[in-house]
Amino acid sequence: MSLPAAFLDSVARLIPAERRFDDPLSTLAFGTDASFYRLIPKLVIRVESEDEVVALLKLAQRERVPVTFRAAGTSLSGQAISDSVLIVLGDNWNGREIRHQGQQIRLQPGVIGAQANAWLAPFGRKIGPDPASINACKIGGIVANNASGMCCGTAQNTYHTLAGMRLVLADGTRLDSEDPASVAAFEQSHADLLDELARLARDTRANTELAARIRHKYRLKNTTGLSLNALIDYDQPLDILSHLLVGSEGTLGFISAVTYDTVIDHPNKASALIVFADVETCCNAVTVLKSQPVSAVELLDRRSLRSVQDKPGMPAFVQQLSDGACALLIESRAATQALLHEQLAQIMASLASFPVEKQVDFTEDAKENAKLWAIRKDTFPAVGAVRKTGTTVIIEDVTFPVEQLAIGVNRLIALFDKHHYDEAILFGHALEGNLHFVFTQGFNSAEEVARYQAFMDDVAQLVAVEFGGSLKAEHGTGRNMAPFVELEWGSDAYRLMWQLKRLLDPNGILNPDVVLSEDPQIHLKNLKPLPAADEIVDKCIECGFCEPVCPSKGLTLSPRQRIVMWRDIQAKKRAGSDTRELERNYQYQGIDTCAATGLCAQRCPVGINTGELVKKLRGQAAEHVKTADWLADNFHTALSGARLTLQAANGARRLLGAPRLSRLSAGLSKISHGRVPQWTPAMPQPLKAVQLSPASNDARPRVV
């Protein structure tokens, strides 16, 4: 169905044409996030102010048009895409206010997580969440997904470090929890909503069985469903509301600013890699480490170690480990070096009784630390880099109660074998019982989709039902786990989530089918194809990590979007479709405006330089190849000729005068159809050739 004409007319009056996109190239490019789902929006709107968001939500409410908010699009569960209206943050959402010597920071949703930490670094502080995508993801997504990470655990996620929030509800109403005037106005205009939130909280706390279930679920790392802990932890309706927005994935409102209580970023740290002979010993060691002064404990199964064992810088012993080996990567941090050394001795003493197969002792050397953490960080891209072209990489994210971690790990490995995911690897944040498993999946046949469905049904039954764990620890529910929310939470909690959704979004216009869906098959629909395009970019997993460093992002396409479009063009060509218009648009958007710097390769987890593809395409389209080859082989001669031409032009200027030469050269250029260049006053003066040999008595350093 198309969007209502009245809505489109109103939007056209509100948003300038250069920030509205409905052409096939732009809608596909923006309709891609890091997940394995694809929806093509009918309209993409780049918003630059809160006023625009308010006006758009009022229009969407009036015309019943679904909208989805998008920050960086690094989300993995399909929560940043839409087949209706996609509202994308523009460049004017980067505000920050640092308070109390960095103890608090107020951020707008367009700030990249790593940038927030860079602002806080001089104060020895950081924000609590530390997702793996922190160099690319934005605060809006970090809050909306309640992202955590390797060192964050549950104590330092957004929910637990939230000091204030500015939000816009589905009806366009604003609320700033830190502004008394805004709070007073909201309490007057939305008294019924606040009363209902207070009632739901009282009823939830009075239902002892449900309250106990909620407390148990949030003892674990958990982002499945809405944040029901807000109804248990708070009795003030405004506190409940702001904490419900955390982890709501854009289904309850728009977050236009957030204030964090920051955490200490200790300067002294050390890491060690300890390998145990089997999963049980490894997980028992985790239970002991839970009470030790560690900041991170990452578990890596034998398959994940095998995926990176041939990479440069890996310890040689990794190749010789036994088949059942399981490793822990441990980090400890402290305010002083002396305290750090005390902690390391305490940690090693606690592990003294465990038999160890191999180990790399604690090191404080930054380079050695980086090598050890590369083992953990390279596992996900390692699977992506070896996958078969046309398949996608899926990373799932579950939590077991930590005391049952060993059984959970072995049961998951058994499910890989049962469903023939032979390449699947397992790693995770062991202290929280949070495991990530990565596997490759094709969606090109009904059989492959059925295999995925059967596997996910088994995973849901194992994690949510048998172990009482969570199916999404930190990646957000999205579309991926929406059909399993009731299975995990039970009917009472599920009904409560729907009550909250309908209270805050009565017309269901905010990100439908995300977090909560009435379609039990939603996780099997709109699966994203990853067709072959060119061997330079075929390994792209469309994660978006490349985007912040791209010089042309915001002008035209990012590296991820260039690859998305080239894949689509190649697939359409193979299907016999007419791609001429797409290719015409792609020429400027994708090829002409790429700086080809290779910066994207530095951020890409699988090392793709999109500039190489662009240079290849430019080469294929190049004319005058013989002229270019001659210039390359005779550059000194060409340079001398150019200098001589500039000298002649400068002589003509002196002889004829600038106005006369300008008129004369314009005429010659026109007659020659541009072969003779037109002289302008901006034309450079000829310079003497640079002397590359410095004088022997010149002690200054050579500079290029």
Q: What averages of pLDDT result for each successive group of 10 residues across the chain (704 residues)? A: 95 98 96 95 98 98 98 96 98 97 98 98 97 95 94 90 98 98 98 98 98 95 97 97 98 98 96 96 96 95 90 87 95 96 97 96 93 85 83 94 94 96 92 94 94 97 97 96 98 98 98 98 96 95 95 93 97 96 96 96 93 95 88 89 88 89 88 87 81 66 66
Instruction: Note whether 540 and 12 are within 8 A (CB).
Output: no
The pLDDT of residue 694? 58
Q: Are 471 and 145 in contact (CB under 8 A)?
A: no
What is the DSSP-derived secondary structure letter of residue 389? T
Domain with CATH 1.10.1060.10 in the chain: 531-622
Decide if 377 contacts 132 (C-beta within 8 A).
yes
Tell me how far CA of residue 619 lies from CA of 116, 561, 613, 628, in angstroms: 40, 21, 10, 11
Per the DSSP assignment, residues forming a β-bridge with 125 are 264
Residue ranges matching CATH 3.40.462.10 in the chain: 269-475
CATH code 3.30.465.10 region(s) in the chain:
98-264
Q: Which pairs count as long-range contacts for 264-268, CB under 8 Å and 24+ apart, including other chains?
A: 264/124, 264/125, 264/335, 265/117, 265/120, 265/121, 265/124, 265/125, 265/126, 266/295, 266/333, 266/334, 266/335, 267/124, 267/335, 268/333, 268/334, 268/335, 268/336, 268/337, 268/339, 268/340, 268/364
The pLDDT of residue 391 is 92
Contact of 432 with 473, CB cutoff 8 Å: yes
- The token duo for 48 is 């630059």
610-626 per-residue burial string, b: 16 or more CB within 10 A, e: under 16: bbbbbbebeeeeeeeee
Integer angstrom CA distances of residue 165 from 70, 178, 660: 18, 7, 65
* Joined tokens for residue 135: 């160099």
* Secondary structure (3-state) at 363: strand
**How distant is the alpha carbon of residue 37 from its chain centre?**
15
Say whether domain 531-622 belongs to CATH 3.40.109.10.
no
What separation in angstroms does the CA of 517 have from each of 286, 346, 471, 508, 514?
Answer: 36, 48, 16, 11, 6
DSSP per-residue codes, 520-579: TTGGGSSBPPB----TTTTT-----TTGGG-TTBTTB--HHHHHHHHHHHHHHHHTT---
pLDDT reported for residue 668: 87
Q: What is the dihedral of CA 226, 230, 236, 238, to 10 degrees?
A: -40
Q: What is the pLDDT of residue 703?
A: 66
pLDDT digits (tens, 9 = 90+) for 530-560: 999 999 999 999 999 999 999 998 899 999 9
- Cα separation of 219 and 213, whole Å? 10
Pairwise CA distance, residues 46 & 655, whole Å? 54
Q: What is the pTM of this model?
A: 0.91
Top-level class of domain 98-264: alpha beta
Q: Which CATH number fits domain 269-475: 3.40.50.740, 3.40.462.10, 3.40.50.1220, 3.40.50.300?
A: 3.40.462.10
Report CA 479 to chain centroid distance, whole Å: 16
Residue that the structure tokens 């579950």 belong to: 398
How many other CB atoms sit within 10 Å of the CB of residue 531? 16
Q: What's the CA gap between 598 and 608, in Å, rounded?
A: 9
Q: Give the separation between CA 694 and CA 43, rounded to whole angstroms.
A: 60
Q: How far is Cα 562 from Cα 425, in angstroms, rounded to an integer?
A: 29
Tell me the two tokens of residue 415: 């499910």
pLDDT of residue 433: 94
